[in-house]
Structure 1
Amino acid sequence: MKKKEMVSIVVPIYKVEKYIHRCVDSILHQTYSTIEVILVDDGSPDNCGSIAERYKELDPRVKVIHKENGGLSDARNYGMQHATGEFIVFVDSDDWLEEKMIEIMITNSLDHKADVVQSAFYYAYDDKLLLDKRYNDNLNNLDNKTLMYELVKNEKVKNFAWGKLYKTKLIKDIPFKKGVLFEDVFWAHQVMQRVNNFLILHQPLYYYYQRDDSIVAAYTPKNLDIIKGLKERHEFLEKHYGELTHESYKGLLKMSLIHYNLLLLNKEKDRDRLHRKEIQSYIIDNYQQLKEAVENEKQLRQQLYLFSLHPYLNVCFLGFKKGLRAIKILPQPVGLTRVD
């Protein structure tokens, strides 16, 4: 009988006692059984460490690593170092998997000789499931140039590390950046540069759990790490994929405008306006390049122009459009579909 490829599944664990059983059970009950499950206890102060040890006692496929708290990136890096499989999957510990996820992804990877396979996913709430149904193709095979474009666009190809099956040799020497939020944005483009064949499965196989925490209530300036990550990626693109700089500028503008408004809603966390001033300076200093990048994007072009006059004009513009949608003069933006 032909040897089955081993899949290493890395699960960082920190303060998820409430969710860990759902996550790990969904992995151990996979129809593809040639797996090793690497549970990385990142110094969790609750009972996660002992729960992980019980799983290790019950199933020989489970490995447990206990370490001092170093954050999600550090925990993933530890997991990668201990992975022995030909393939790696990352799972966040409050998420869970369809029982055939690994089987479907490994089969498709081998059949299509894909370096990375990405599945669709559910936005999983306590009372509903939402799905992005804009892309209904059965499969998409992307070459490197198309892949990088789609990664920057962040619609078909997501920056998330989870929800993908990677060839281990592709990623093992590319660590996640420690000490940042949105670490995937700092990491994904480095990986995708090495990919010759990227496969998208539009079948949802991963449940991305949405906690109740409000982004406005939980917002801190640390969330601005995502802009740092996009700027770092922009420099990489300028060097290696110059034709994608306009698309990159679009993403930077969108994210800068979003976070400027979030900082406005959280003025007490930016009392001296340093963070808002930094965003405003970036937009003004790069105004001409941003203007060229959004030439064919009517709303972004309008937002950029209004913001350059005064940031509050952009806020008023968005509020006005929201009001028009509320009274159905403007259509609602295309969003997620409830599927349960």
Structure 2
Amino acid sequence: MSSNQNILVSVVVPCYNQAQYLDEALQSVLDQIYTNWECIIVNDDSPDQTEAIAKAWVEKDQRFSYLKQDNKGLSGARNFGISYAKGEYILPLDADDRIGIDYIDLAIKAFKEDTALKIVYSNAEKFGLENKTWNLRPFSLFNLAKSNVIFCSAVFKKEDWERVGGYDEHMRGGLEDWEFWIHILKFGGEVFKINKVCFFYRIKENSMIKDIPVDDKMELYRYVSIKHADFFVNQLGSFKEFMSHGLKENDELKVLVNSKKNALRVLLKPVTRFFKF
């Protein structure tokens, strides 16, 4: 049992058309070995059985609470739940995902050991239609500038959420967690990855990120690149520098491929001569 149980952690679970998975997500919260948590279930005006399921969990354990709002999208639902959170730390959990039993415990231990930390996450696995390790690229600000390398259910301080103004509610189409991590980290702070699988990401036929039309996704990328232009320039350099770097990498790759082909020809030459008719 953790010695840091005096720290309250708020798990925020937005739900829209995910009622069929909600029990599984909430059970993974109830199973935590770290017991000083609250779990705020946010019904984003879902047309399914979210309300009935959520209220049953509120009756089951007083650490669960239930909120409902007009539909505002994922960012709006997270912000609504976090605004009511009493915890010093926040863990967003989508209603179709799960967390491992020691995720909160290990995350709080990491924060206590390093006060410079802004974000703590872990190794992850995919489940559902796919069952395999989720091989996220190693965290660095450079890698974060190129794409999101931190899943949505990382742990962070509520004060950092307040500092950046929460999740951007203009980003209803997706990529809101990527923008949020950039906003928290671009002026400093450390990130820690727990070397254990503590997050389980459900793969389904339909998901918000997969269903974004290409044009809409490109517009979201443009929006983030303009909003955080300072961050992208600091990490990637100017557009010309970034393109030059990419072209250089491409040329180096071609040289490597050609050298491997030549090496393979040398190695296979005796064999091909042996089998030549």
The TM-score by the shorter chain falls in which range?
0.7 to 0.9
Higher RCO (CA 8 Å, separation ≥ 6 residues): 2
Residue matched to 1:87: 89
Residue 202, structure 1, aligned to residue 195, structure 2: yes
Query: RMSD of the alignment, in Å?
Result: 3.0
Residue matched to 1:61: 63
Q: Distance in 2 between matches of 1:77 and 1:179?
A: 12
SS of alignment partner, residue 19 of structure 2: coil
Q: Give the C-alpha shift of residue 77 in structure 1.
A: 0.7
Residue matched to 1:99: 101
Q: Distance in 1 between matches of 2:234 and 2:210?
A: 38
Q: Give the C-alpha shift of residue 49 in structure 1.
A: 1.3
Query: Which residue, out of 157, 166, 175, partners 1:167?
Result: 157
Cα deviations by residue, 1:205-253 (Å, 9 ceiling, x for unpaired): 1001111238998452333344224423551326xxx44133x85xxxx
Residue 232, structure 1, aligned to residue 184, structure 2: no
> Please, which moves more after superposition, 102-111 or 167-176?
167-176
Instruction: Give the AA of the match of 1:119.
Output: S
Residue matched to 2:216: 222
Cα deviations by residue, 1:31-68 (Å, 9 ceiling, x for unpaired): 10100101110000011012111111111101111101
**2:118–2:189 Cα contact (<8 Å) kept:** yes
TM-score (norm 1): 0.65
**2:19–2:49 Cα contact (<8 Å) kept:** yes
Residue matched to 1:298: 250
Q: Distance in 1 between matches of 2:126 and 2:143?
A: 20
Query: Once the two structures are aligned, what percentage of the paired residues are identical?
Result: 22
Summarize the Cα distance change of 1:153–1:58 in structure 2 as closer, same or farther, 3 Å threshold: same
Is there any run of 5+ residues in structure 1 with no aligned partner, and where? 136-141, 250-287, 303-340
Q: Distance in 2 between matches of 1:150 and 1:205?
A: 22
Summarize the Cα distance change of 1:294–1:87 in structure 2 as closer, same or farther, 3 Å threshold: same
Query: Which residue, out of 122, 127, 152, partners 1:124?
Result: 127
**2:44–2:70 Cα contact (<8 Å) kept:** yes
Q: Distance in 1 between matches of 2:247 and 2:118?
A: 35
Q: Distance in 1 between matches of 2:18 and 2:96?
A: 7
Residue matched to 2:51: 49
TM-score (norm 2): 0.78
Q: Give the C-alpha shift of residue 3 in structure 1.
A: 5.8
Q: Distance in 2 between matches of 1:59 and 1:67?
A: 22
Q: Distance in 2 between matches of 1:295 and 1:129?
A: 33
Cα deviations by residue, 1:150-185 (Å, 9 ceiling, x for unpaired): 42244xx7244x231112212224221124221123
Instruction: Give the AA of the match of 2:236.
Output: T
Is there any run of 5+ residues in structure 2 with no aligned partner, and where? 255-277
Cα deviations by residue, 1:118-145 (Å, 9 ceiling, x for unpaired): 212112234623332876xxxxxx8xxx
**1:66-81 paired onto structure 2 within 5 Å:** 66-81=68-83
